[in-house]
Amino acid sequence: MNATKFLFALTTCMLCLGASAQGLQPVKLNAPDKTRGAATMKALSDRHSDRVYDEKDLSIKDLSDLLWAANGINRPDGKRTAPSAMDKREIDVYLICKDGAYLYDAQEHSLKPIAAGDHRGAVAGGQDFVKAAPVSIVTVIDLAKLGDPTLENTRLIGAVDAGIVTQNIDIFCAGVGLSTVPRATMDKDALRKILKLRDTQLPIMNNPVGYPKK
């Protein structure tokens, strides 16, 4: 077994066994492959919303590149693939899969375990097609990093930045042949508890992601 296959097998094992052990393990992601995907104009041409997914798990390569594209670090100074107002970096990206919920740590390019169990139903918010996707990405704003969380302008700026992250996800998926749809529907109260969010953190968008169903 070569090193790449071993890493994939090990990571898959970690994801599958974490919930049954009542303690998810951190997952170190692959370095992003910055050469893959369709040209920008082709990806824009191909971008569309999909609500039907193959239930097959995403490969560690696709998962790693997806999260980096969403809001990973692309410069030595720590700045991201998605811009943010005043460089406040107030957007957090969470991964929800059948085995648990994780926080994407852009600095370490890894997944930090948050809660074991299948919480895709909270992301679905009553729309069952979401539960068929192997993963969902939940975009969360930390309003406190932008200023007064009670101000409409603070929420507006955060929403714009979250929209950019969502568009990164959409364009990446179109460029590499994954299926997704940007959504605002979800059980926000349930997700606040599952993800252990502070009062100033607001779940605002989500993207179920999977391979196209054949």
Whole-number Å distance between alpha carbons of 105 and 95: 11
**What is the predicted pLDDT for the residue at 5?**
43
Residue 214 pLDDT grade (very low, low, confident, very high; cuts 50, 70, 90)? confident
Are 43 and 175 in contact by the 8 Å Cβ rule? The answer is yes
Q: Could you tell me the CA-to-CA distances from 174 to 1, 6, 97, 144, 162 in Å, in that order?
A: 31, 28, 21, 33, 19
> For the chain, what is the mean pLDDT?
92
pLDDT digit string, tens, across residues 130-167: 999 999 999 999 999 999 999 999 999 999 999 999 99
Sign of the CA dihedral with 89 first, then 85, 71, and 169 last: positive
pLDDT digit string, tens, across residues 74-128: 999 999 999 999 999 999 999 999 999 999 999 999 999 999 999 999 999 999 9
For the ranges 20-29, 48-57, 179-188, the lowest mean pLDDT is seen at 20-29
Q: Which residue has the tokens 């790449």?
A: 4
Q: Could you tell me the CA-to-CA distances from 156 to 4, 150, 151, 187, 204 in Å, in that order?
A: 43, 11, 9, 21, 11
Whole-number Å distance between alpha carbons of 146 and 204: 15
User: Which pair of structure tokens corresponds to residue 165?
Assistant: 């992250």
User: Which pair of structure tokens corresponds to residue 131?
Assistant: 């539960």
> Which stretches of the chain are DSSP H helices?
3-20, 40-46, 60-71, 120-124, 152-176, 188-194
Who has greater pLDDT, 7 or 32?
Answer: 32
Residue 9 pLDDT grade (very low, low, confident, very high; cuts 50, 70, 90)? very low
**What is the predicted pLDDT for the residue at 20?**
36
Per cent of the chain over pLDDT 90 is 88
**What is the predicted pLDDT for the residue at 22?**
57
